[in-house]
Amino acid sequence: MKTLTPASSALQGAEAKPFWTSGANAPENLASLEAHTSCDLAIVGGGLTGLWAGIEAKIENPDLDVVILESQQIAFGASGRNGGFFSESLTHGLAHGLSLWPKEIDTLLRLGRENVSEIFKFLDSEKINAEQNFCGKSVMALRPHHVKELEASFKQLLKYGENVEFLDGEETRKDIDSPTYLASLRIHDGSGILDPAKLSWGLRQSAIARGVRIYEMTRVTGLSKSRTSVLLHTAHGIVTANKVILATNAFHPLLRRMRNMAIPVFDHVLVTEQLSQAQLDSIGWKQNQGVTDAGNQFHYYRRTPDNRILWGGYDAIYYKGSQRDISPERYAPSHELLAEQFFQTFPQLEGLNFTNKWAGMIDTTSRFTPVIGRAFGGKVAYAFGYTGLGVTSSRFGAKVALDFIANRESELTQLALVARKPIPFPPEPIRSLLVSKTRASLAREDIDGKRGPWLGLLDRMGVGFNS
């Protein structure tokens, strides 16, 4: 009989479903569309982008008739599967923003701060408890070259007035105990963690209370134009809308022009059983902050309010042809790898089991920042491509999309981040080859700390991470 490794053994009882949405507090399903209908604004997709678009549209004009069409349930997609890290950054970090939009960075930083502050003000006013914790985050150096990179980030963040600390190895391990840590950057403000399902379900309730009609299990199969409206086709009937917002993230795009703007990359996540007091004491982690590694292929991890650890990332996988219909069996090697790496990071937790394992699609653009634009002569807007940082920037995407369909020139629509679209991905088979080459180069840089000619070229083209 084959003996199980500690990682395989820890995964044995794990259910293949997202931890956040599988709790007992999930709301009742909403009815699907049953007949043709019409509305002022139809939103396709009931994740955070779609929910914010619906709510903000109603805040602007309470009389607007707004419909959300969701192919499964609210928060079925990335919005119910993510790590729950929230951030003020609209640019995937300061260094990345500075390298792409140096002239706009102060505006982008301000808009990001305002976005997060308005989100939490809204949650307070609606009494939505998303278990938000403004605990900041730590970035861990696991290799000597990470230490130098974190020192450079530390100086850059200080220059921009951020509340940051640089901790050496001993100080880091005193804070959170792992033999893998060589140093860390502790970022105190502007970020934290929350429960993404509670956030989505809270917004769902606010949308319904404002009169937004939400139809679940209602997939939009295509769009077409009539003389004055946009028609959304579903198996249950046609929705005739004056305006449309597409909030379909990494799922199959409904517009041809969206196909090359983002690719679906599968990201994998595990959640452990609850830790005992002795296990908690063995890791410290008293400030509960979110944690990421400093590498390109990085883990992100955090504690949950009921003292589990969510552990995800590292092994992001693109399937040739932008395949989206991937069976859970295909994720198994990534979950095994994640479990092994978990026990390398926290060997003192050997024997701890995982209760949940899942994967989700990350809508990755070549610039790692969202694409927000318009089509059908301004009747349709789309917002997607947050590339793994959409828990709070999805509201920014929704607000820009609302400006677009209202035909409003605003501070948001004029941003270069919005006006200039990222470089599109080439078609297959070149797409797969480029993704593999980039992935291998990023993995090499993680080992030797050298950027290499391929990543250097991509940096000069404004593609991917420059940080």
Ligand X SMILES: Cc1cc2nc3c(=O)[nH]c(=O)nc-3n(C[C@H](O)[C@H](O)[C@H](O)COP(=O)(O)OP(=O)(O)OC[C@H]3O[C@@H](n4cnc5c(N)ncnc54)[C@H](O)[C@@H]3O)c2cc1C
Binding positions for ligand X, rule: CB under 6 A: 44-50, 69-72, 76-79, 81-85, 219-220, 247-249, 251, 254, 267, 269, 312, 360-362, 384, 386, 388-391, 394
Contacts of 123 (CB under 8 A, 6+ apart): 129, 130, 132, 199, 202
Measure the CA–CA gap between 448 and 443, rounded to whole angstroms.
9
Complex with ligand X: residue 175 or 267, whichever CB lies closer: 267
Complex with ligand X: residue 141 or 223, whichever CB lies closer: 223
- Shortest distance in whole angstroms from residue 64 CB to ligand X: 20
- Shortest distance in whole angstroms from residue 412 CB to ligand X: 17
Complex with ligand X: residue 182 or 258, whichever CB lies closer: 258
- Shortest distance in whole angstroms from residue 47 CB to ligand X: 2
Q: Would strands 37-44 and 164-168 be described as parallel, antiparallel, or unpaired?
A: unpaired
Complex with ligand X: residue 11 or 262, whichever CB lies closer: 262
Measure the CA–CA gap between 214 and 77, rounded to whole angstroms.
16
Q: Report which residue's Cβ sits closest to ligand X.
A: 390
Complex with ligand X: residue 76 or 285, whichever CB lies closer: 76
- 387: which DSSP letter? T
Complex with ligand X: residue 220 or 244, whichever CB lies closer: 220
Complex with ligand X: residue 208 or 454, whichever CB lies closer: 208
- Shortest distance in whole angstroms from residue 430 CB to ligand X: 25
Measure the CA–CA gap between 438 and 89, rounded to whole angstroms.
24
CB distance 362 to 264 below 8 Å: yes
First to last CA, the chain: 47
Complex with ligand X: residue 167 or 250, whichever CB lies closer: 250
- Shortest distance in whole angstroms from residue 51 CB to ligand X: 7
Measure the CA–CA gap between 208 and 120, rounded to whole angstroms.
19
- 372: which DSSP letter? E
- Shortest distance in whole angstroms from residue 416 CB to ligand X: 21
Q: Which residue has the tokens 């996540």?
A: 269
Measure the CA–CA gap between 94 and 98, rounded to whole angstroms.
6
Both tokens assigned to 320: 């040739």
Measure the CA–CA gap between 20 and 271, rounded to whole angstroms.
10
- Shortest distance in whole angstroms from residue 415 CB to ligand X: 18
Measure the CA–CA gap between 389 and 423, rounded to whole angstroms.
19
Burial 105-119 (b: 16+ CB within 10 A, else e): bebbbebbeebbeeb
Complex with ligand X: residue 5 or 117, whichever CB lies closer: 117
- Shortest distance in whole angstroms from residue 155 CB to ligand X: 25
- Shortest distance in whole angstroms from residue 302 CB to ligand X: 8
Complex with ligand X: residue 49 or 138, whichever CB lies closer: 49
| Of 194, 176, 200, residue with least CA distance to 186 | 176
- Shortest distance in whole angstroms from residue 457 CB to ligand X: 27
Both tokens assigned to 315: 């092994």
Kindly report the length of the chain: 467
CB distance 275 to 282 below 8 Å: no
